[in-house]
Amino acid sequence: MNNRRFPLQRLPNDVCSEVLKTMEHPEIIAYSLTSKKALSLVQSLRLPLRNARIRINKWPDIQLDFGHISVLFKFKMGKNGKEMKRIADIPRKIYVSTVTLSQEFRPKIESKAFTCSNPRMAVGEWIRLICSIFRFECYEAHFSLRSMRYDVQSLRNTFPKLRKVIIFGSFRNEANDKYIQNAQTILRVFSPYVENVHLCRIPLQENFSIQHIGMVNLKELKLYAPRNMKLSDLSILNVKRCVILESHFSLRDLNRFFKLWRKGSYPKLKYLLVHGKTIADWNVLMRGLNAAEEEAEGDEKKYIIQNCYGIRARIEPLNLPFVVNFRFIVCN
């Protein structure tokens, strides 16, 4: 037998589309990169992409989630763990892996690995090409401040319109001007489109506070172990959903937050979840709120408070021992 390739591009479009549907996702994506006609044909398939994550750190990657199948592109920059220094760097190799979740009898994970040939394209070009395949509007990007060695501004023309940005700080108590500058730049560059911002262990300072972030018109702001956070940081919160994990708010601060809400503050806020490190004393937390206790199942408790505009909200203490954990949900 000879080793001649199957002339896929010479087939009529409708026949080629049927052939593509029998191929694995990495093969379909690889085919789309061969020509503009191939890209257009793959786009017409409208592959059901559920989530797409771009991770920018020492060794960037792109993960595409199609539901029961996920595809991961990992860029190896060079020998001996060489890091990416610029988005224009050309990767030495590209590793592609797929994970398939079978639902026949019980969930079963099957993994496959491929090595993709590299036509001397930079990481930024790979990101643009892969993202152009899908008509998807909810891309998210993860940034690690500790491993950023490149100009954040250069990402503006590389990334698609991001809807979610997750920024990781450091587990150590280190905070330098470069961290803050990079976090500010990321939010400024992508703020026209970003709807969800997650900050993980980001040091807050006078020139980078929750007030600065909260002024952006966000749907969700999630803070994990925020450092140096104060209640005053939430004074101009402009988000619909806010999640604060491992906070050090005092019970008096949280009680004051509820009282400010009753006076008409935080008009856009619809949901707040706080997981604190403060010892729980619900008498202090609910003092002066004129809250009405609502019927709940078992030992659960729910409280209803109302603001000056007649809008009601529910406070739901979560059954976690010793520390303050609650949900705050605006009812109407």
> Running along the chain, 332 residues long, what does each successive block of 10 average in pLDDT?
63 86 87 86 89 86 89 81 74 84 63 68 86 85 78 75 85 65 79 84 67 69 77 70 82 87 89 80 85 76 91 84 82 79
For residues 246 and 224, give the distance between their C-alpha atoms in angstroms, rounded to a whole number. 6
Residue 18 falls within a domain, yes or no?
yes
Residue 12 falls within a domain, yes or no?
yes
Residue 231 falls within a domain, yes or no?
no
Q: What is the pLDDT of residue 1?
A: 41
Residue 158 falls within a domain, yes or no?
no
| C-alpha distance from residue 189 to each of 157, 182, 186, 300 (Å) | 10, 10, 5, 44
Q: Is 78 helix (H, G, I), strand (E, B) or coil?
A: coil
Task: State both tokens at 213.
Answer: 């972030």
Residue 8 falls within a domain, yes or no?
yes
Q: What is the pLDDT of residue 307?
A: 94
Of 151, 155, 153, 152, nearest in space to 139 by CA: 155
Residue 254 falls within a domain, yes or no?
no
Instruction: Describe the crossing of helices 36-45 and 13-20 by its angle, rounded to 10 degrees.
Output: 60
**pTM of this prediction exceeds 0.85:** no
| C-alpha distance from residue 293 to each of 217, 254, 303, 304 (Å) | 33, 18, 4, 6
Count of structural domains within the chain: 1
Residue 282 falls within a domain, yes or no?
no
Residue 60 falls within a domain, yes or no?
yes
Q: Which domain holds residue 117?
A: 1-130
Q: What is the pLDDT of residue 267?
A: 87
